[in-house]
Amino acid sequence: MDALHRPLLDRSPALLAEGYAWLPNRMRESGGQVVRTRLMGRPALAVRGPDAVRFFYDERHVRRHRAIPEPVRGTLFGRGAVHTLDGDAHRVRKALFLPLLHVDRIAGVVEHVTAAWDEAVPSWAARPRVTLFDAASVVLTRGVCRWAGIPLAEEEAEPLARDLVAMVDGFATAGPRHWRARRARGRQEARLARLVQDVRSGAVTAPADSVLARVARHRHPDGEPLEPGTAAVELLNVVRPTVAVCWFVAFSAHALHRRPEHRDRLRAGDAAYAAAFAHEVRRFYPFAPFLGGRAVTDLSWHGERLPAGGLVLLDVYGQNHDEKLWGDPYVFRPQRFLERPVERDELIPQGGGEPDTNHRCPGEGITVGLLEALAVRLARLDHTVPEQDLTISLRRIPARPRSGFVIADVQAPAG
């Protein structure tokens, strides 16, 4: 097994021991915004700050090909995914995802997911306890499939939600979570590859402008249609991260429980405050720890050198908690987003640079839109929070409240 194929956390005992704190701790020791380290047996340079974001996203410096380890491709992204492409191949594939940035698409997903939420609440009211993380994953699965044109029978929603969550949950571990993620990916890629073939043969009709139809007719730069397996990978690259918003829903509930003073403005439907709250959830809570690319040439950053072939790591968690940018980074304070405009490359929970030309997440608008709408619904949800373990361990990647955030005594809205 070569270094690229070993599970991510096997490769660096420090990463395993420290999780999200690994690079921020090294940065603190070095006293700067750059640190030299090793990952996967390769020399690495970790960087942070808006200038470093621009350096990282410049393809003359950093490329993705052969940078993303197989255990991450085999669980989180899929083989041949847009995340792993550079140059022209990336530009052509990325075009598939750019409509996701449009406001009407964002509104469409939000409408379907909030409808699924409203349908689910009465069933939560009928149960003594509901684990919000799991319940939100099912709501998001129903909503995103309806919006994307993916057929989903009522009884298929829960197993699909479990598989989509598993793919995200298992990318950074060597244990059973990792193998669960691989099995989940195998199952869902096979199912969606068959669906793409059925759309192409006319056996299944997909609404003309749906994500399903667009993926089915997308072509490589040479004009050939995507192989069914690659089409399935890219369909999953829309559906899976949308369902992963359940991590942020659980974090939103955690924030509202710990700091109930944020409830009132959300409950009142204050749109600017809901946006600020969504950004602060994405900044404050841990999700993507860092991003990695391969140095295409010998590089130097703030006096530190890296030979070609080494890894450049963008310290996402560290930058979102950098005192120089945020002043009081470990305080959950949505107001910070109302006090000053935040620059493009300062807040990077979903990557930096431009989404249409760089690898920045094309689903950022959808994520924020969903979080705004669901934070308001959460603030308005009549429920109690029983005694439970709400610890969020920074050693577990991806992190989440240990209990999954259990709620009780949910009241269905009248009428």
Interface residue list for ligand HEM (CB under 6 A):
82-83, 94, 97, 100, 237-238, 241-242, 244-245, 247-248, 287-288, 291, 349-351, 359-363, 366-367
Give whichever of 252 and 383 is closer to ligand HEM, judged by the CB atom: 252
Torsions phi, psi of 35, nearest 5? -150, 140
Three-state secondary structure call for residue 349: strand
Supply the minimum distance, in Å, between the C-beta of residue 144 and ligand HEM: 8
DSSP 306-340: E-TT-EEEE-HHHHHT-HHHHSSTTS--TTHHHHS
Supply the minimum distance, in Å, between the C-beta of residue 367 and ligand HEM: 4
Closest-CA residue to 141 (of 153, 125, 128): 153
Q: Which residue is nearest to ligand HEM (CB)?
A: 363
Supply the minimum distance, in Å, between the C-beta of residue 370 and ligand HEM: 7
Q: Under a CB-based contact definition with an 8 Å cutoff, are residues 50 and 346 in contact?
A: yes
Supply the minimum distance, in Å, between the C-beta of residue 90 and ligand HEM: 6
Supply the minimum distance, in Å, between the C-beta of residue 364 and ligand HEM: 7
Supply the minimum distance, in Å, between the C-beta of residue 36 and ligand HEM: 21
Give whichever of 359 and 383 is closer to ligand HEM, judged by the CB atom: 359
Give whichever of 329 and 351 is closer to ligand HEM, judged by the CB atom: 351
**Cis peptide upstream of residue 398 (ω within 30 degrees of 0):** yes
Supply the minimum distance, in Å, between the C-beta of residue 111 and ligand HEM: 15
Between CA 42 and CA 18 the distance in angstroms is: 19
Give whichever of 180 and 240 is closer to ligand HEM, judged by the CB atom: 240
Three-state secondary structure call for residue 219: strand
Supply the minimum distance, in Å, between the C-beta of residue 151 and ligand HEM: 19
The answer for residues whose C-beta is within 8 angstroms of residue 261's C-beta and 6 or more apart is none
DSSP 248-312: HHHHHHHHHHH-GGGHHHHHTT-HHHHHHHHHHHHHHS-----EEEEESS-EEETTEEE-TT-EE
Give whichever of 29 and 88 is closer to ligand HEM, judged by the CB atom: 88
Give whichever of 247 and 273 is closer to ligand HEM, judged by the CB atom: 247
DSSP 101-166: GSHHHHHHHHHHHHHHHHHHHHHHHTSSEEEHHHHHHHHHHHHHHHHHT----GGGHHHHHHHHHH
Give whichever of 216 and 410 is closer to ligand HEM, judged by the CB atom: 216
Residue with tokens 């955690």: 254
Between CA 61 and CA 308 the distance in angstroms is: 9
The token duo for 123 is 């069933």
The token duo for 171 is 């990318």
Between CA 367 and CA 52 the distance in angstroms is: 24
DSSP 351-414: BSS-TTTSS--TTHHHHHHHHHHHHHHHHH---B--S------TTSSS---TT--EEE-PPPPP
Give whichever of 16 and 233 is closer to ligand HEM, judged by the CB atom: 233
Give whichever of 178 and 283 is closer to ligand HEM, judged by the CB atom: 283
Beta bridge partners of 349: 351
Supply the minimum distance, in Å, between the C-beta of residue 248 and ligand HEM: 6
Give whichever of 106 and 199 is closer to ligand HEM, judged by the CB atom: 106
Between CA 228 and CA 213 the distance in angstroms is: 13
Supply the minimum distance, in Å, between the C-beta of residue 203 and ligand HEM: 26
